[in-house]
Amino acid sequence: MLYLVGLGLSDETDITVRGLEIVKRASRVYLEAYTSILLVDQSVLEAYYGRSIVVADREMVESNSDEILRGAQTEDVAFLVVGDPFGATTHTDLVLRARELSIPIQTIPNASIMSAIGGCGLQLYNFGQTVSMVFFLDNWRPASFYDRIKENRTIGLHTLVLLDIKVKEQSLENMARGKRIYEPPRYMTVGQCAQQMLEVEEDKKEGVYGPDSLAIGAARVGGRTEKFVAGTLKQLCDADDLLGPPLHSLVLLGSRAHELERDYAREFAIDKNVWDKTWSEQYETK
């Protein structure tokens, strides 16, 4: 059996009882380590699970899945995924490859950012499509996310923006020279995301979200040091010190926002007077 085991969002204790039982008895245990991270090191997981773990980077999962699936027709293999296996990130290719090899599959779900973001006070029923924001480069500024955000905005729904992480990435120079030298990990912050959002809006000029649009920055959601900060996009450009270390996410408020959401998120406001004034102008005078 191939087990896809969700680990939750925070630390080694977030795994479910069922998931932990599977990890303890599996012949091999892999940890998917390129789409997200837990807030603890691999060694902490190994000590808690009582098992050694093989870190599965992007190259292994996408190009060497045969190693992960080796022998899974006759023994149990556990593939660990931060959050939920089919939450913000899916592993469809791995599952399809397992099916081709007649390997049975079971999924052990867990909390993901898609559900835990409700801790910011916005109602999950009022969220539209989730989008991802990548780091901009001088010559590469992809803006495909903008149309999805615009669609959400048009029907009044909130947008969860997942922020880029760069783990085990190579520079273009080292890649061209065939050197297996990797850059230090980088994690996009709410401030960077808000700034890039405003830059795209400046280019597009379609009025989807501007400096005075309300949003909520989220950090380490589901963890013991979970933090939310609410304000305008302009305010959130400078809110990284308030949010602290990664991982960060951003929520753009939709026009359907309810007064209960307003009151709940107000507790996280950088400046409650600005929050109240902006809300009144944007949501109560329509």
For 3-37, b where at least 16 C-beta lie within 10 A, e where not — what string? bbbbbbbbbbebbbeebbebbeebebbbbbbbbbe
Token representation of residue 245 = 């270390």
**Integer Cα distance of 92 and 105 in angstroms:** 12
Please state whether beta strands 2-6 and 28-32 pair in parallel, antiparallel, or not at all (unpaired). Answer: unpaired
Task: Tell me: is residue 221 an annotated ligand-binding position.
Answer: yes
208 annotated as ligand-binding:
no
Characterise 282 by phi-psi region: left (phi > 0), alpha (psi -120 to 50), beta (else): alpha
Q: How far is CA 37 from CA 8, 167, 248, 269, in A?
A: 10, 10, 11, 27
Check: CB of residue 246 under 8 Å from CB of residue 189: yes
The response to whether 84 counts as a known ligand-binding position is yes
Say whether 212 counts as a known binding-site residue.
no
CA-to-CA distance for 44 and 34, rounded, in angstroms? 18
CB atoms within 10 A of CB 156: 13
Distance separating alpha carbons of residues 228 and 269, to the nearest angstrom: 9
Per-position DSSP letters for 220-284, written without gaps between them: STTSTT-EEEEEEHHHHTT-HHHH-SSPEEEEEPPTT--HHHHHHHHTTBSSHHHHHHHHHHHHS
| C-alpha distance from residue 143 to each of 132, 139, 200 (Å) | 10, 13, 7
Q: Is 163 annotated as contributing to ligand binding?
A: yes
Residue ranges of the annotated binding site are: 9, 84, 87, 112-113, 163, 221, 248
Residue ranges of the binding site for S-adenosyl-L-methionine: 9, 84, 87, 112-113, 163, 221, 248
